[in-house]
Amino acid sequence: MPELMPSELSIQEAARSTGLSPDTLRYYERIGLLEPVSRHSSGHRRYHPQDLHRVGFLSCLRATGMSIRQLQAFTALASEGPHTVDARLALLEAHKAQVRARIAELEHALSTIDHKITYYRSTGGHA
């Protein structure tokens, strides 16, 4: 049975949960990638499941090479509401095409490496 996530997490807990550093979480909030997160009466940030969901999606986009500027454009569109769905879709489809192109480049590079490995093995290490 999956472990239930508390409704609020400290910045340290959110960092552990997302794999990002607390500094990165603060940076994402400062540049507008995250809505200002709620604060405890002590002033400490409190992250909610929807914050972590957004961080997860942003992390996916970053891991696939989307720039911070593109993330900001996407986030700004999302903040404007449902009338921007077509623009968000276009941005994601363009990014997906770039990711597919990068995958093709990496597959070609991997094939080249495989050929070199096969060559070295066929020469018995005397190449």
What are the tens digits of pLDDT across the range 39-88?
888 888 999 999 999 999 999 999 999 999 999 999 999 999 999 999 99
What pLDDT score does 6 carry? 63
CB atoms within 10 A of CB 119: 10
CA–CA distance, 89 with 116 (Å, rounded to integer):
41
pLDDT exceeds 90 at position 1:
no
Is residue 38 helix, strand or coil? strand
Q: What is the pTM of this model?
A: 0.80
User: Which residues lie across from 45 on neighbouring strands?
Assistant: 39
Q: CATH for 1-63? A: 1.10.1660.10
